[in-house]
Amino acid sequence: MIKPGEAKLNHLFQPGRIGKFVTKNRIKYGACCVSNYNTRDGYITARELARMRVIAQTGCGIITNQGAYPDAKGEGKSYFRQVAIYDDKFLPQFEEIAGYIKEAGAIGIQQILHAGRYGGIDLGYCVQPSDVPQTLPHFRPPRVLTAEQIREIVEQHADAAKRAIRAGFDGTEVTSFMGYLLANFNSRFTNQRTDDYGGSIENRGRFMRELIDSIKQATPDNPLVVRLNGDELMQRWGGNTEDECYELMQQAVDCGVDMISVTVGWQEAPESSIGRDIPPGYWNYLSERAKKMFPDTLITFGNRLPDPNMANDCVRDGTFDFWEVCRPLLADPELIHKAAEDRLEETRRCIGSLNCLSRLFRDLPYTCTMNPALGHEVEPEDHVTTAAVKKKIMVIGAGPAGMECAITAAKRGHDVTVFDKAARIGGNLAAYADNDLARPDDLKSIISHYDVMARKHGVQIRLNTEVEAKFMRSVLHQYDVCVVAAGARMDREAFVWLEGHELLVDALEVAHHRIQPSGKVVVIGAGKVGLTVAEYLKKHGVEVIIVEQAKRIAGDIKPSFKWRHASWVEELEIPCLTSSRPTKITGEGVTVVNDKGKESFLPADTVLLAAPRKANHELFHEFEWMIDELHGIGDALIPRGLEQAISEGYRLGVRI
């Protein structure tokens, strides 16, 4: 029987075909780089198997397992805990994963990932076509591959493909995404050879053609996918033009590749490709061009495309044949099922915060801002189970931490009421969304998700209600549990020493649009609050200067988004006085001094306090003797970020 969402998204949910295999829909789970959940010597762990059991059940027609490096030396290894496939000893766990995928009725693809320029993480060097210095200091210095070593790498890929098929996968995939070895040979930036593997675009594509031919010969009955850049975004470094990228795709098509996955960008690219500053659908034109050029070759695509409705239209319009989904299914593994059942309003949207990549680039297992269960699937205590004893729970604060905790606890059968003194849910996240220059709709989707799920699971929400000692005494013994999720505020007490401190205006009041400054504004603090408010004000015509005591701005912002704030500050021409602090505030402005003792006066009509933040934890002391169980989560404990708020809310919710 056709489900209501399948009828609405009938193009997305129609069967497809790759090679000799029929797929149940037009959705391909992308390998999403690697998880870093595995052992340092390449073995797959129980943690990874548990994650892949969840991925196998996502409902995709094709599922790609994460990239495995194909060489015993580890020159292709880019991440400390990347899986290996260079020897049969690794196959038992690959067989388990292939089994999960088959049981779910999907086609299994194993990605082979040789990182090239970004590899050799345990070796102290990397291998690449030419001696091109690294532009990012954390990567290893290069060694140039000889022609004999290139042929050996081609053989390693073919052997890895044969192992994957023996393990039970239906096909294989090689990738150039993010600037790995295949991209290194294809690109003019990293391939400056003068032999048969360099120079002309035909020669630069030779390595790719040999890879395709070798794998096709090794596994003639199984499809091969190649991930190729539609745009490297590397023109600044002398990389390929967009036209050259498509010439290379033509070479892959001529070699008989079964599917091309169109990707965007390198790790070294100076601009974003999948962050939340990129609107959904922005890169669709790249897959559309590929489909028009290669109508007889399957095209799959999904860069910054989290919406099944848009994906359905793309399949209908011939923009691509398969929707390739990765991060949206990390954020919500039920996305495809919700789409099929017409429940998309319940979706946890991938907001493109790239917490996953930020952690990978710090050699940590990836996690997801939106999905606190990711990486903890193997742990029973992190599963939502029926509560042993039903309790009546009050949650103070309707921000992300409080709402996550409330909904999770309600799913387990508890009776939950959320209190907030504001007139809307969302807490300070709502203020960030109101001022965000990237994608306010992504941040607002978190709040709308909580609103939908609270109603679905019977969470009562009482707004415009401040919970303090008097209120608590009025409901004494009505609740079994109190969760303090009251967030954080600007720490005015930190500036009581400052002459004129009473003139400071709380930046969060401005962010919530309760106060509207005009004229000249000085913002004290260049963290997430200060930058977000300053950027918004400048965008709307207010003259802004930022003062920051640290040497650099954006100290409390995710590594993957620091650069974006820096670029906005530059684009908007917002002066930033770093290594500086205020010494006096008057009605005319602010006196500041830098770390060298130089004093400056900044004329200002308004001075905003945007740092430091202070936890609203006073309620812990007031309620200690008023409730059986008292807990705290999120910024009410220590001011941090969205990921910690959601994670702590969830973890408390599954344990109460």
Secondary structure string (H, E, C) spanning 498-522: CECHHHEEEHHHHHCCCCCCCCEEE
Would you state the pLDDT for residue 453?
98
Burial class of residue 470 in the structure, from the number of CB atoms within 10 Å of its CB (0-12 exposed, 13-18 middle, 19+ buried): exposed
Instruction: Output the six-digit token pair for 298.
Output: 């399957």
Per-residue pLDDT tens over the stretch 225-282: 999 999 999 999 999 999 999 999 999 999 999 999 999 999 999 888 888 889 999 9
- pLDDT for 361 equals 81
| Long-range contact set of residues 142-151: C-beta below 8 Å, sequence gap at least 24 | 142/117, 147/195, 147/196, 147/197, 150/197, 150/207, 150/210, 151/210
pLDDT value at position 233? 96
Total Cβ atoms within 10 A of residue 177:
25
DSSP 178: B
- 457: which 2 tokens? 């699971």
Q: Give tens-digit pLDDT for 483-503.
A: 999 999 999 999 999 999 999
At the topology level, CATH places domain 4-360 in TIM Barrel (3.20.20)
Distance of CA 597 to the CA centre of its chain: 41
Regions of the chain where pLDDT drops below 50: none
pLDDT at position 356 is 86
The structure tokens listed for 90 are 């690794």
**Class of residue 496 by CB neighbours under 10 A (exposed 0-12, middle 13-18, buried 19+):** exposed
CA distance 298 to 152: 29
Q: Residue 613: beta bridge partners?
A: 490
pLDDT at 74: 98
For residue 384, the model assigns a pLDDT of 97
Q: How many CA atoms lie within 13 A of 241 on its CB side?
A: 4
The three-class DSSP label of residue 161 is helix
Q: Same topology for domains 4-360 and 386-487+616-653, yes or no?
A: no
How many Å apart are CA 446 and CA 434, to the nearest integer? 13
**Alpha-carbon gap, residue 232 to 130, rounded angstroms:** 18
CA-atom Rg of the chain in angstroms? 27
Distance from C-alpha of 505 to C-alpha of 442, rounded to nearest angstrom: 28
- Does the 491-613 domain belong in CATH 3.60.15.10? no
Q: Which amino acid makes up residue 339? A: A
- Select from 3.30.420.40, 2.40.50.140, 3.40.50.720, 3.90.79.10 the CATH code of 386-487+616-653: 3.40.50.720
Residue ranges per structural domain of the chain:
4-360, 386-487+616-653, 491-613
- pTM for the full model? 0.95
